[in-house]
Amino acid sequence: MTNNAIAQSVHAHAEAMIAFRRDLHAHPELPWEEVRTTQKVAQALEAIGIPYRLTTPTGVIAEITGGQPGKTVALRADMDALPVQELNEALSYKSKTDGKMHACGHDAHTAMLLTAAKALYENRASLRGNVRLIFQPAEEIAQGAREMVKQGAIEGVDNVFGMHIWTTSPSGKISCNAGSSFASADLLKVKFKGRGGHGSMPEACVDAAVVASAFVMNVQAIVSRETSPLESAVVTIGRMEVGTRFNVIAENAVLDGTVRCFDVATRERIKAAIERYAQHTAAIYGASAEVEYTYGTLPVINEERSARLAQAVVRSAFGEEVLFAEKPTTGGEDFSFYIENIPGCFALLGCGNPEKGTDWAHHHGCFNIDEDVMVKGAELYAQYAWSYLQQDAF
């Protein structure tokens, strides 16, 4: 099921992998700004001897041609950082840019995939097919994967695999369950318009603050009373902008929120219900409503045979005890756009270690990873690709 030579190659490059990750961590770049990161990846691929092409405006697609004909499997890593101030003052590789930080582990993903690429290239004679390497920008704003697909990232690809460092799973454990993994993540904006006026004369006004407040309370019934308890969904209003002064009744209110769920049918039903709740709530008070619903990521649904293959690879490479059944998360992942039309799966690599302080939440200023797990991540990338290509039929 797994290749010992690939494992040896990964271990041989472990020190360089950690150094590469630390360099990226010290120089974080936000979505669509990953110019230095793209150059670093391209230079590394060139040094290995793997042909590649740059995507626009950032990103890299490369390909390893195996020694024997066969299918093509893609491996994906994201590269972008976040607008977060790093709080890890003691790190020698702390972010050098104020207000920017690799607070989600994408630096590790990139370094692990690059190391997997080295191992696969060194053992390419045993590959029965080709390995596509996707170094993707702009995951954090759910735009990068869609753009990479437009630029040919999965043309001719038969299967795709990705993974994410995960601080809520124990360090070194790996999860790749069949079925739901990540939820869809959509953006929501609701604008209410009333009629403003003096705070002492409410009878002459339509208070947008009251309308907006009623909507925030009412809209939760979409989940609690219109969604089956056997389904998962979240409707969150995270921001409300209303009013201008303490003694002025608000004419306008703007609400921003997000919707998360695990299937497209539920997503569409919730979208329609939000429109209905907004319009009817506004009508009760004599106001008007406008809803802007922006589709973000699709749900990440791991194809069963791909997930079973990943689990078999974990057992073979690391042992049964490494497998871990992490619960689905309502977080979003734009890996979903790669598996929209082709089979594939997405794994979680645990790095939560309280003794090392690597159990902080993703996107927190104290986020960091247990670098000891990176060898497993790099090997999982490489062994999944090798194992997939070795199958006579899949």
Catalytic residue numbers read 80, 139
What 3 state SS string does the chain have? CCCHHHHHHHHHCHHHHHHHHHHHHHCCCCCCCCHHHHHHHHHHHHHHCCCEEECCCCCEEEEEECCEEEEEEEEEEECCCECCCCCCCCCCCCCCCCCCECCCCHHHHHHHHHHHHHHHHHCHHHCEEEEEEEEECCCCCCCHHHHHHHCCCCCCCCEEEEEEEEEEEECCCEECCCEEEECEEEEEEEEEECECEECCCHHHCECHHHHHHHHHHHHCHHHHHHCCCCCCEEEEEEEEEECCCCCEECCEEEEEEEEEECCHHHHHHHHHHHHHHHHHHHHHHCCEEEEEEEEEECCEEECHHHHHHHHHHHHHHHCHHHECCCCCECCCCHHHHCCCCCCEEEEEEEEECHHHCCCCCCCCCCCCCCHHHHHHHHHHHHHHHHHHHHCCCC
